[in-house]
Amino acid sequence: MDDMSDSDMEMMDDSVTPTPPPPPTTVTPPPTTTTPPPTPPTPPAPVTVNVSISNFAYVPAELHISPGTTVVWTNNDSAGHTVTSESGIELDSVLLGNGESFSHTFNTSGEFNYLCKPHPWMKGKVIVQ
């Protein structure tokens, strides 16, 4: 190679094709499984029970409900009526006119007897258990 001139060396260098670099290696990570956080339990929907006041009577006259249930009394009579505990403590509505309602949520177990103040023969009972 000593007999070669500088120009011959340059020609040789130009004729050599460089080796391309290897392509980059792609590493695919293994699939990961993610567990979603547990959803909190949905509280039960509020329960509402309706009582109609019609023909001078509570319909139904006796209810069996669970604690947390709301009872709605609606007066469908032309006369005014109340929903009043016989003991006067738990329930005490105003005089309800036609189409008016009174509601109460029963949170404690027990038996609750009620009547209509102007018509004391009208009686009803709510049993919470």
Query: Binding-site residues, please?
Result: 81, 116, 119
> Phi, psi (5° rounding) for residue 23?
-65, 150
Angle at Cα 52 formed by Cα 75 and Cα 46, nearest 5°? 110
Amino acid, res. 105: T
Cβ neighbourhood burial of 75 (10 Å; 0-12, 13-18, 19+): buried
Instruction: State how beta strands 62-65 and 69-75 pair.
Output: unpaired
Annotated binding site for Cu cation: 81, 116, 119
Say whether 7 sits in a helix, a strand or coil. Answer: helix
Which residues fall within 8 angstroms of residue 67, CB to CB, at 6 or more apart? 106, 107, 108, 109, 128
